[in-house]
Amino acid sequence: MDLIPFVELFPEQAMAETRTITTRGHPILPDDEYALVEAYCPDPACDCRRVMLNVLPRRQAGRGYLAAISFGFDRDEEMSGPFLDPLNPQSQYAEVFLDIVAKMLETDPAYVARLESHYRQVKQAVADPTHPVHQIVARIEAKDEERLERQRTRQSKKSKRKRRRRKRIKRNSGQNCTAEINSLIRQLVQSGGRPHPDLLVDILACGEAAVEPLIAIISDPEMYWDDAQIKPRRLPEYAMGLLGDLRAEAAIPILIELLGWQNMYETLEQVVDALARIGPAAVEPTKAVVLDRSLDWYPRALAAQALVAQVYMGMEGSETLLEFLQSLLLQGPVECSNDRIVYAQLAQDLADLQGMDAVETIRAAFQRDAIDRAYIDWPDAEAMCRNAAPDLLQRYTVNSLSDYRKFRR
Protein backbone atom coordinates (compact mmCIF):
# COMPACT_ATOMS: atom_id res chain seq x y z
CA MET A 1 0.00 0.00 0.00
CA ASP A 2 1.37 3.44 -0.97
CA LEU A 3 2.25 5.97 1.68
CA ILE A 4 -0.27 8.78 2.18
CA PRO A 5 0.74 12.38 3.01
CA PHE A 6 -0.25 13.47 6.51
CA VAL A 7 -1.69 16.64 4.99
CA GLU A 8 -4.23 14.55 3.06
CA LEU A 9 -5.53 12.96 6.26
CA PHE A 10 -5.31 15.89 8.69
CA PRO A 11 -4.98 19.04 6.53
CA GLU A 12 -5.46 21.73 9.18
CA GLN A 13 -3.10 20.10 11.65
CA ALA A 14 -0.51 19.50 8.92
CA MET A 15 -0.59 23.15 7.84
CA ALA A 16 0.30 24.16 11.41
CA GLU A 17 2.83 21.42 12.20
CA THR A 18 4.74 20.74 8.97
CA ARG A 19 8.42 21.66 9.30
CA THR A 20 9.94 23.93 6.66
CA ILE A 21 13.48 24.80 5.59
CA THR A 22 14.20 28.35 4.38
CA THR A 23 17.32 29.05 2.32
CA ARG A 24 18.90 32.40 1.54
CA GLY A 25 22.26 32.57 -0.22
CA HIS A 26 22.90 28.83 0.10
CA PRO A 27 25.91 27.79 -2.05
CA ILE A 28 23.89 25.05 -3.79
CA LEU A 29 20.16 25.35 -3.05
CA PRO A 30 18.01 28.06 -4.68
CA ASP A 31 16.48 30.64 -2.34
CA ASP A 32 13.11 29.24 -1.35
CA GLU A 33 11.00 27.75 1.40
CA TYR A 34 10.92 23.95 1.39
CA ALA A 35 8.24 21.94 3.19
CA LEU A 36 9.05 18.50 4.65
CA VAL A 37 5.82 16.80 3.62
CA GLU A 38 5.30 13.79 5.87
CA ALA A 39 3.88 10.55 4.47
CA TYR A 40 2.89 7.46 6.45
CA CYS A 41 1.77 3.91 5.76
CA PRO A 42 -2.05 3.65 6.08
CA ASP A 43 -2.09 -0.13 6.60
CA PRO A 44 -3.44 -0.79 10.15
CA ALA A 45 -1.75 -4.20 10.22
CA CYS A 46 1.70 -2.73 9.51
CA ASP A 47 3.85 -1.35 12.33
CA CYS A 48 6.79 -0.18 10.23
CA ARG A 49 7.42 2.85 12.50
CA ARG A 50 8.71 4.97 9.62
CA VAL A 51 8.01 8.30 7.98
CA MET A 52 8.86 9.52 4.49
CA LEU A 53 9.91 13.18 4.44
CA ASN A 54 9.30 14.59 0.96
CA VAL A 55 10.97 17.92 0.22
CA LEU A 56 8.59 20.24 -1.67
CA PRO A 57 9.69 23.73 -2.84
CA ARG A 58 7.15 26.50 -2.33
CA ARG A 59 7.98 28.63 -5.39
CA GLN A 60 8.34 25.72 -7.80
CA ALA A 61 5.89 23.21 -6.37
CA GLY A 62 5.08 22.08 -9.90
CA ARG A 63 8.49 20.39 -10.06
CA GLY A 64 7.30 17.91 -7.46
CA TYR A 65 9.40 16.56 -4.63
CA LEU A 66 13.12 17.32 -4.73
CA ALA A 67 14.04 14.55 -2.28
CA ALA A 68 12.36 11.60 -0.59
CA ILE A 69 14.01 10.82 2.75
CA SER A 70 13.12 7.69 4.71
CA PHE A 71 13.45 7.79 8.50
CA GLY A 72 12.74 5.08 11.09
CA PHE A 73 11.90 5.76 14.73
CA ASP A 74 13.63 2.63 16.05
CA ARG A 75 17.19 3.90 15.97
CA ASP A 76 18.80 0.50 16.61
CA GLU A 77 17.34 -0.97 13.43
CA GLU A 78 19.79 -1.48 10.56
CA MET A 79 17.75 0.54 8.05
CA SER A 80 16.60 3.28 10.42
CA GLY A 81 18.10 6.00 8.24
CA PRO A 82 17.72 8.74 7.38
CA PHE A 83 18.54 7.85 3.77
CA LEU A 84 17.36 8.75 0.27
CA ASP A 85 14.63 6.28 -0.60
CA PRO A 86 15.81 4.24 -3.63
CA LEU A 87 12.24 3.61 -4.84
CA ASN A 88 11.48 7.30 -5.33
CA PRO A 89 12.93 9.80 -7.82
CA GLN A 90 15.55 12.18 -6.42
CA SER A 91 16.66 15.56 -7.76
CA GLN A 92 20.19 16.95 -8.07
CA TYR A 93 19.66 18.61 -4.67
CA ALA A 94 18.67 15.40 -2.86
CA GLU A 95 22.03 14.80 -1.17
CA VAL A 96 22.11 18.37 0.14
CA PHE A 97 18.63 18.05 1.60
CA LEU A 98 19.57 14.70 3.15
CA ASP A 99 22.47 16.35 5.02
CA ILE A 100 20.24 19.17 6.27
CA VAL A 101 17.42 16.86 7.37
CA ALA A 102 19.82 14.38 9.01
CA LYS A 103 21.29 17.16 11.18
CA MET A 104 17.79 18.38 12.02
CA LEU A 105 16.67 14.92 13.14
CA GLU A 106 19.84 14.45 15.17
CA THR A 107 19.68 17.77 17.00
CA ASP A 108 15.94 18.34 17.40
CA PRO A 109 14.35 15.59 19.54
CA ALA A 110 11.10 17.60 19.77
CA TYR A 111 10.70 17.37 15.99
CA VAL A 112 11.35 13.62 16.02
CA ALA A 113 8.78 13.25 18.81
CA ARG A 114 6.23 15.18 16.73
CA LEU A 115 6.83 12.87 13.74
CA GLU A 116 6.39 9.81 15.91
CA SER A 117 3.22 11.31 17.37
CA HIS A 118 1.86 11.84 13.84
CA TYR A 119 2.71 8.22 13.02
CA ARG A 120 0.71 6.97 16.02
CA GLN A 121 -2.14 9.32 15.12
CA VAL A 122 -2.35 7.89 11.60
CA LYS A 123 -2.20 4.30 12.81
CA GLN A 124 -4.87 4.86 15.44
CA ALA A 125 -7.14 6.53 12.90
CA VAL A 126 -6.87 3.78 10.26
CA ALA A 127 -7.37 1.11 12.94
CA ASP A 128 -10.72 2.68 13.89
CA PRO A 129 -13.31 1.68 11.23
CA THR A 130 -15.53 4.62 12.25
CA HIS A 131 -12.86 7.30 11.80
CA PRO A 132 -13.45 9.78 8.93
CA VAL A 133 -9.97 9.18 7.48
CA HIS A 134 -11.23 5.91 6.00
CA GLN A 135 -13.25 7.87 3.45
CA ILE A 136 -10.16 9.90 2.55
CA VAL A 137 -8.00 6.77 2.20
CA ALA A 138 -10.68 5.13 0.03
CA ARG A 139 -10.79 8.17 -2.31
CA ILE A 140 -7.01 8.25 -2.62
CA GLU A 141 -6.84 4.52 -3.33
CA ALA A 142 -9.60 4.84 -5.95
CA LYS A 143 -7.70 7.65 -7.71
CA ASP A 144 -4.50 5.59 -7.62
CA GLU A 145 -6.30 2.61 -9.13
CA GLU A 146 -7.75 4.80 -11.91
CA ARG A 147 -4.29 6.14 -12.67
CA LEU A 148 -2.80 2.63 -12.78
CA GLU A 149 -5.62 1.44 -15.02
CA ARG A 150 -4.95 4.29 -17.46
CA GLN A 151 -1.26 3.37 -17.47
CA ARG A 152 -2.08 -0.29 -18.11
CA THR A 153 -4.40 0.67 -20.96
CA ARG A 154 -1.75 2.88 -22.59
CA GLN A 155 0.87 0.17 -22.19
CA SER A 156 -1.47 -2.45 -23.65
CA LYS A 157 -2.13 -0.28 -26.71
CA LYS A 158 1.61 0.28 -27.21
CA SER A 159 2.29 -3.46 -26.92
CA LYS A 160 -0.41 -4.29 -29.47
CA ARG A 161 1.04 -1.77 -31.94
CA LYS A 162 4.53 -3.23 -31.48
CA ARG A 163 3.26 -6.80 -31.98
CA ARG A 164 1.45 -5.78 -35.18
CA ARG A 165 4.60 -4.08 -36.52
CA ARG A 166 6.78 -7.08 -35.70
CA LYS A 167 4.33 -9.50 -37.32
CA ARG A 168 4.20 -7.32 -40.42
CA ILE A 169 7.99 -7.20 -40.65
CA LYS A 170 8.30 -10.93 -39.99
CA ARG A 171 5.90 -11.69 -42.85
CA ASN A 172 8.04 -9.68 -45.22
CA SER A 173 10.77 -11.43 -47.15
CA GLY A 174 12.95 -10.75 -50.17
CA GLN A 175 12.00 -7.51 -51.94
CA ASN A 176 9.28 -6.67 -49.41
CA CYS A 177 11.76 -6.87 -46.52
CA THR A 178 14.21 -4.71 -48.44
CA ALA A 179 11.54 -2.08 -48.98
CA GLU A 180 10.60 -2.20 -45.29
CA ILE A 181 14.16 -1.76 -44.00
CA ASN A 182 14.89 1.00 -46.53
CA SER A 183 11.86 2.90 -45.24
CA LEU A 184 12.95 2.40 -41.62
CA ILE A 185 16.50 3.53 -42.34
CA ARG A 186 15.16 6.69 -44.02
CA GLN A 187 13.15 7.39 -40.88
CA LEU A 188 16.26 6.83 -38.77
CA VAL A 189 18.30 9.28 -40.89
CA GLN A 190 15.48 11.85 -40.73
CA SER A 191 14.96 11.50 -36.96
CA GLY A 192 17.30 14.37 -36.14
CA GLY A 193 19.39 12.37 -33.70
CA ARG A 194 16.50 11.31 -31.44
CA PRO A 195 14.75 8.31 -33.03
CA HIS A 196 11.79 6.84 -31.18
CA PRO A 197 12.59 3.50 -29.46
CA ASP A 198 9.81 1.85 -31.48
CA LEU A 199 11.74 2.68 -34.66
CA LEU A 200 14.82 0.93 -33.27
CA VAL A 201 12.68 -2.09 -32.35
CA ASP A 202 11.39 -2.26 -35.93
CA ILE A 203 14.93 -2.09 -37.34
CA LEU A 204 16.11 -4.87 -35.03
CA ALA A 205 13.13 -6.97 -36.09
CA CYS A 206 14.44 -6.90 -39.68
CA GLY A 207 17.45 -8.89 -38.56
CA GLU A 208 20.08 -9.60 -41.23
CA ALA A 209 18.36 -7.29 -43.71
CA ALA A 210 19.24 -4.31 -41.47
CA VAL A 211 22.97 -5.00 -41.35
CA GLU A 212 24.06 -3.66 -44.75
CA PRO A 213 22.22 -0.30 -44.54
CA LEU A 214 23.45 0.22 -40.97
CA ILE A 215 27.03 -0.47 -42.10
CA ALA A 216 26.51 2.09 -44.85
CA ILE A 217 25.64 4.69 -42.22
CA ILE A 218 28.74 4.15 -40.09
CA SER A 219 30.97 3.96 -43.21
CA ASP A 220 29.95 7.40 -44.47
CA PRO A 221 32.14 10.22 -43.03
CA GLU A 222 29.41 12.77 -43.80
CA MET A 223 27.09 11.03 -41.32
CA TYR A 224 29.28 12.09 -38.39
CA TRP A 225 28.93 15.86 -38.66
CA ASP A 226 25.93 18.16 -39.03
CA ASP A 227 27.05 21.16 -41.07
CA ALA A 228 23.79 23.02 -40.52
CA GLN A 229 23.92 22.68 -36.72
CA ILE A 230 27.74 22.76 -36.60
CA LYS A 231 27.90 19.81 -34.22
CA PRO A 232 28.44 16.03 -34.28
CA ARG A 233 25.52 13.82 -35.35
CA ARG A 234 24.44 10.93 -33.13
CA LEU A 235 23.06 8.84 -35.99
CA PRO A 236 26.19 6.64 -36.35
CA GLU A 237 26.08 5.88 -32.61
CA TYR A 238 22.59 4.40 -32.93
CA ALA A 239 23.65 2.44 -36.00
CA MET A 240 26.63 1.01 -34.10
CA GLY A 241 24.42 0.08 -31.17
CA LEU A 242 22.00 -1.74 -33.45
CA LEU A 243 24.85 -3.59 -35.21
CA GLY A 244 26.16 -4.68 -31.81
CA ASP A 245 22.72 -5.92 -30.75
CA LEU A 246 22.40 -7.80 -34.06
CA ARG A 247 25.88 -9.31 -33.49
CA ALA A 248 26.65 -8.32 -37.05
CA GLU A 249 30.00 -9.93 -37.86
CA ALA A 250 29.95 -8.20 -41.24
CA ALA A 251 30.39 -4.89 -39.41
CA ILE A 252 33.70 -5.89 -37.76
CA PRO A 253 36.05 -4.61 -40.53
CA ILE A 254 34.52 -1.11 -40.62
CA LEU A 255 34.35 -0.93 -36.80
CA ILE A 256 38.04 -1.83 -36.62
CA GLU A 257 38.78 0.79 -39.27
CA LEU A 258 36.83 3.38 -37.29
CA LEU A 259 39.11 2.87 -34.30
CA GLY A 260 41.88 4.41 -36.35
CA TRP A 261 39.92 7.39 -37.65
CA GLN A 262 41.06 10.83 -36.53
CA ASN A 263 38.76 13.25 -34.65
CA MET A 264 36.52 10.35 -33.64
CA TYR A 265 37.05 10.42 -29.88
CA GLU A 266 33.43 11.19 -28.99
CA THR A 267 32.27 8.13 -30.98
CA LEU A 268 35.03 5.63 -30.16
CA GLU A 269 33.28 4.34 -27.06
CA GLN A 270 30.28 3.36 -29.20
CA VAL A 271 32.64 1.55 -31.57
CA VAL A 272 34.04 -0.39 -28.63
CA ASP A 273 30.55 -1.11 -27.34
CA ALA A 274 29.56 -2.65 -30.69
CA LEU A 275 32.73 -4.75 -30.90
CA ALA A 276 32.11 -6.05 -27.38
CA ARG A 277 28.51 -7.03 -28.16
CA ILE A 278 29.32 -8.72 -31.48
CA GLY A 279 31.29 -11.32 -29.57
CA PRO A 280 34.08 -13.83 -30.26
CA ALA A 281 34.31 -13.10 -34.00
CA ALA A 282 35.63 -9.64 -33.12
CA VAL A 283 38.38 -10.86 -30.78
CA GLU A 284 41.32 -11.36 -33.16
CA PRO A 285 40.80 -8.10 -35.11
CA THR A 286 40.43 -6.23 -31.81
CA LYS A 287 43.62 -7.80 -30.46
CA ALA A 288 45.41 -6.52 -33.55
CA VAL A 289 44.30 -2.96 -32.72
CA VAL A 290 45.62 -3.28 -29.15
CA LEU A 291 49.03 -4.29 -30.51
CA ASP A 292 49.14 -1.75 -33.38
CA ARG A 293 51.75 0.83 -32.36
CA SER A 294 50.97 3.03 -35.35
CA LEU A 295 47.78 4.06 -33.53
CA ASP A 296 47.43 6.55 -30.69
CA TRP A 297 47.09 5.07 -27.21
CA TYR A 298 43.38 5.95 -26.89
CA PRO A 299 41.89 3.63 -29.58
CA ARG A 300 44.29 0.89 -28.45
CA ALA A 301 43.15 1.22 -24.84
CA LEU A 302 39.49 1.21 -25.83
CA ALA A 303 40.04 -1.89 -27.96
CA ALA A 304 41.51 -3.56 -24.87
CA GLN A 305 38.42 -2.49 -22.97
CA ALA A 306 36.24 -4.22 -25.58
CA LEU A 307 38.15 -7.43 -24.84
CA VAL A 308 37.71 -6.94 -21.09
CA ALA A 309 33.98 -6.46 -21.68
CA GLN A 310 33.80 -9.77 -23.55
CA VAL A 311 35.42 -11.50 -20.58
CA TYR A 312 32.90 -9.81 -18.28
CA MET A 313 30.02 -11.04 -20.44
CA GLY A 314 31.34 -14.59 -20.33
CA MET A 315 31.64 -14.90 -24.09
CA GLU A 316 33.00 -18.10 -25.60
CA GLY A 317 36.77 -18.24 -25.06
CA SER A 318 36.71 -15.79 -22.15
CA GLU A 319 39.33 -17.68 -20.13
CA THR A 320 41.81 -17.63 -23.00
CA LEU A 321 41.07 -13.97 -23.64
CA LEU A 322 41.69 -13.11 -19.98
CA GLU A 323 45.05 -14.89 -20.16
CA PHE A 324 45.95 -12.76 -23.19
CA LEU A 325 45.08 -9.52 -21.35
CA GLN A 326 47.06 -10.57 -18.29
CA SER A 327 50.04 -11.50 -20.48
CA LEU A 328 50.08 -7.98 -21.89
CA LEU A 329 50.69 -6.58 -18.42
CA LEU A 330 53.16 -9.33 -17.47
CA GLN A 331 55.25 -9.51 -20.64
CA GLY A 332 53.77 -7.30 -23.36
CA PRO A 333 56.36 -5.26 -25.28
CA VAL A 334 57.17 -1.78 -23.95
CA GLU A 335 58.60 -0.03 -26.99
CA CYS A 336 57.09 3.45 -26.66
CA SER A 337 55.40 5.73 -24.15
CA ASN A 338 51.99 4.87 -25.58
CA ASP A 339 52.49 1.23 -24.59
CA ARG A 340 52.76 2.25 -20.94
CA ILE A 341 49.59 4.36 -21.19
CA VAL A 342 47.67 1.48 -22.80
CA TYR A 343 48.79 -0.86 -20.02
CA ALA A 344 47.82 1.73 -17.40
CA GLN A 345 44.29 1.83 -18.79
CA LEU A 346 44.18 -1.97 -19.05
CA ALA A 347 45.29 -2.29 -15.42
CA GLN A 348 42.35 -0.15 -14.32
CA ASP A 349 39.92 -2.23 -16.40
CA LEU A 350 41.27 -5.49 -14.96
CA ALA A 351 41.00 -4.04 -11.45
CA ASP A 352 37.31 -3.38 -12.07
CA LEU A 353 36.87 -6.83 -13.62
CA GLN A 354 38.78 -8.99 -11.14
CA GLY A 355 39.17 -7.00 -7.96
CA MET A 356 41.87 -8.44 -5.68
CA ASP A 357 42.48 -11.29 -8.13
CA ALA A 358 44.21 -8.74 -10.38
CA VAL A 359 46.58 -7.40 -7.70
CA GLU A 360 49.59 -9.60 -8.40
CA THR A 361 49.36 -9.15 -12.16
CA ILE A 362 49.19 -5.37 -11.84
CA ARG A 363 51.97 -5.34 -9.21
CA ALA A 364 54.23 -7.27 -11.60
CA ALA A 365 53.49 -4.78 -14.38
CA PHE A 366 54.58 -1.91 -12.11
CA GLN A 367 57.71 -3.79 -11.11
CA ARG A 368 58.80 -4.15 -14.74
CA ASP A 369 58.00 -0.46 -15.38
CA ALA A 370 55.27 -1.28 -17.93
CA ILE A 371 52.73 1.23 -16.59
CA ASP A 372 52.79 5.00 -16.95
CA ARG A 373 52.66 6.26 -13.37
CA ALA A 374 51.37 9.62 -14.51
CA TYR A 375 48.06 7.86 -15.26
CA ILE A 376 47.94 5.60 -12.23
CA ASP A 377 50.42 4.86 -9.46
CA TRP A 378 50.70 1.59 -7.54
CA PRO A 379 48.87 2.73 -4.35
CA ASP A 380 45.93 3.92 -6.45
CA ALA A 381 45.92 0.72 -8.50
CA GLU A 382 45.90 -1.39 -5.34
CA ALA A 383 43.03 0.70 -3.96
CA MET A 384 41.08 0.15 -7.19
CA CYS A 385 41.48 -3.61 -6.77
CA ARG A 386 40.21 -3.40 -3.21
CA ASN A 387 37.25 -1.28 -4.30
CA ALA A 388 36.52 -3.02 -7.58
CA ALA A 389 33.66 -1.52 -9.62
CA PRO A 390 32.46 -4.23 -12.03
CA ASP A 391 29.22 -2.24 -12.35
CA LEU A 392 31.14 -0.01 -14.76
CA LEU A 393 31.14 -2.93 -17.21
CA GLN A 394 27.47 -3.80 -16.79
CA ARG A 395 26.45 -1.61 -19.71
CA TYR A 396 27.82 -4.30 -22.03
CA THR A 397 25.24 -6.80 -20.73
CA VAL A 398 22.26 -4.56 -21.62
CA ASN A 399 21.32 -3.98 -25.23
CA SER A 400 21.59 -0.49 -26.68
CA LEU A 401 17.82 -0.20 -27.00
CA SER A 402 17.39 -0.55 -23.21
CA ASP A 403 20.07 2.08 -22.64
CA TYR A 404 18.37 4.38 -25.13
CA ARG A 405 14.97 4.00 -23.47
CA LYS A 406 16.53 5.05 -20.16
CA PHE A 407 18.09 8.05 -21.88
CA ARG A 408 14.72 9.05 -23.38
CA ARG A 409 13.05 8.95 -19.95
13 CB-side CA count, 13 A: 12
How many other C-beta atoms can be found within 10 angstroms of the C-beta atom of residue 41? 21
Counting the structural domains of the chain, the total is: 2
Domain span holding position 283:
279-409
Q: CA-based angle 103:108:112, to the nearest 5?
A: 100
Given 110, 131, 152, which residue is the final one in a domain? 131
229 belongs to a structural domain: no
Domain-embedded: residue 366: yes
- pLDDT value at residue 347: 93
User: Maximum CA pair distance of the chain?
Assistant: 84
Q: Residue 169: what are its φ and ψ, rounded to 5°? A: -70, -40
SS (H, E, C) the chain: CCCEEHHHHCHHHHHHHCCEEEECCCCCCCCEEEEEEEEECCCCCCCCCEEEEEEEECCCHHHCCCEEEEEECCCCCCCCCCEECCCCCCCCCHHHHHHHHHHHHHHCHHHHHHHHHHHHHHHHHHHCCCCCHHHHHHHHHHHHHHHHHHHHHHHHHHHHHHHHHHHHHHHCCCHHHHHHHHHHHHHHHCCCCCCCHHHHHHHHHCHHHHHHHHHHHHHCHHHHEECCCCEECCHHHHHHHHHHHCCCHHHHHHHHHHCCCCCCHHHHHHHHHHHHHHCHHHHHHHHHHHCCCCCCHHHHHHHHHHHHHHHHCCCCCHHHHHHHHHHHHHHCCCCCHHHHHHHHHHHHHHHHHHHHHHHHHHHHHHHCCCCCCCCCCHHHHHHHHHCCCHHHHHHHHCCHHHHHHHHHC
The whole-angstrom separation of Cα 217 and Cα 108 is 62
Q: Is residue 169 part of a domain?
A: no
Question: What local confidence, expressed as pLDDT, does residue 173 receive?
Answer: 42
- Of the three residues 115, 131, 147, the one that is the final residue of a domain is 131
Average pLDDT, consecutive stretches of 10 residues, N- to C-terminus, the chain (409 residues): 88 93 90 94 91 90 84 85 88 92 94 96 92 88 80 70 59 57 88 81 88 92 72 82 92 89 66 89 93 86 90 86 94 90 92 89 94 89 79 57 46
Please check whether residue 302 is in contact with residue 269, taking contact to mean a CB–CB distance below 8 angstroms.
Answer: yes
Q: What is the pTM of this model?
A: 0.55
The reply to whether 212 falls in a domain is no
With contact defined as beta carbons under 8 Å apart, do 38 and 51 qualify? yes
Separation of alpha carbons 331 and 336, rounded Å: 14
Task: Give domain status of residue 354, yes or no.
Answer: yes
Is 41 part of any domain?
Answer: yes
pLDDT for res 58: 86
In the listed set 84, 108, 131, which residue is the last one of a domain according to the structure?
Answer: 131
Judge whether 189 lies within some domain. no
Query: Is residue 122 one of the residues assigned to a domain?
Result: yes
> Is-contact 390 357, C-beta < 8 A?
no
Is the preceding omega at residue 280 within 30 degrees of 0, hence cis?
no
Amino acid (one-letter) located at 322: L
* Distance from C-alpha of 306 to C-alpha of 279, rounded to nearest angstrom: 10
CB 255 within 8 A of CB 241: no
